[in-house]
């Protein structure tokens, strides 16, 4: 079982890492961000789009906020076509995640969440704490892919060690 403190720490980690990754990506040309580099979601831009989509869909399930624009994973790479729009959206989304994490009632973590999964094409019910763990793991997984793509392209994203998360 995870705690509210863990969720809040991971929300802060998510924001800290996104600031680093987006700053590094912003130093690349549009063509370099859009270049298919063989990652699961193709490009740096596509993978960052998928992360916006994933964070938005999970937040819609957890906090009843609006769902992403695209109804499914295949369209997630096109969630935000414009880089400037992505740059503006990411900090706002990160703040919504932090605000949601700050408002979680610890008793809710013992409950279940039921939703229709487009990926599995069926209704699923899982413990909420498991899904929140997945939410943060998904962020870290795909952001790690972006970090590797950025590094290979010559960009310099910052350190990713959780133990170095600045005190806020």
Query: CATH class for domain 4-159?
Result: mainly alpha
Q: What is the 3-state composition of the chain as percent helix, strand, coil, each rounded to the nearest 5?
A: 65, 10, 25
pLDDT (tens, 9 = 90+) of the chain, 168 residues, equals 999 999 999 999 999 999 999 999 999 999 999 999 999 999 999 999 999 999 999 999 999 999 999 889 988 998 888 999 999 999 999 999 999 999 999 999 999 999 999 999 999 999 999 999 999 999 999 999 999 999 999 999 999 999 999 997
Please state the pTM of the whole predicted model.
Answer: 0.95
Separation between Cα atoms, residue 164 and residue 29, nearest integer Å: 29
Asked if 165 and 13 count as a contact pair (C-beta separation under 8 A), the reply is: yes
Separation between Cα atoms, residue 163 and residue 168, nearest integer Å: 13
DSSP letter for 65, please: P
Separation between Cα atoms, residue 122 and residue 159, nearest integer Å: 38
Buried b or exposed e, range 35-61, using 16+ CB within 10 angstroms: bebebebbbbbbbbbbbbbbbbbbbeb
Question: Of 77, 83, 62, 84, whose CA–CA distance to 128 is shortest?
Answer: 62
Residue 71 confidence (pLDDT): 86
List the chain domain ranges: 4-159
Question: Of 23, 3, 41, 70, whose CA–CA distance to 141 is shortest?
Answer: 41
Asked if 48 and 34 count as a contact pair (C-beta separation under 8 A), the reply is: no
Q: How many helices (H) and strands (E) does the chain have?
A: 5, 2
- CB burial of residue 152 (10 Å; 0-12, 13-18, 19+): exposed
């Amino acid at each position: 079982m995870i705690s509210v403190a863990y969720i809040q720490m991971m929300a802060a980690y998510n924001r800290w890492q996104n600031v680093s990754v987006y700053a590094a990506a912003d130093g690349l040309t549009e063509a370099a961000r859009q270049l298919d580099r063989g990652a699961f979601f193709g490009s740096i831009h596509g993978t960052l789009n998928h992360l916006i989509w994933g964070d938005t869909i999970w937040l819609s399930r957890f906090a009843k906020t609006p769902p992403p624009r695209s109804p499914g994973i295949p369209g997630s790479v096109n969630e935000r076509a414009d880089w400037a729009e992505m740059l503006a959206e990411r900090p706002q989304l990160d703040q919504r995640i932090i605000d949601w994490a700050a408002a979680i009632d610890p008793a809710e973590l013992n409950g279940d969440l039921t939703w229709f999964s487009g990926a599995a094409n069926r209704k699923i019910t899982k413990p909420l704490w498991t899904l929140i763990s997945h939410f943060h793991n998904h962020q870290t997984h795909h952001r790690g892919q972006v970090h590797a793509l950025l590094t290979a392209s010559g960009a310099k994203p910052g350190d990713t060690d959780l133990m170095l998360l600045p005190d806020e």
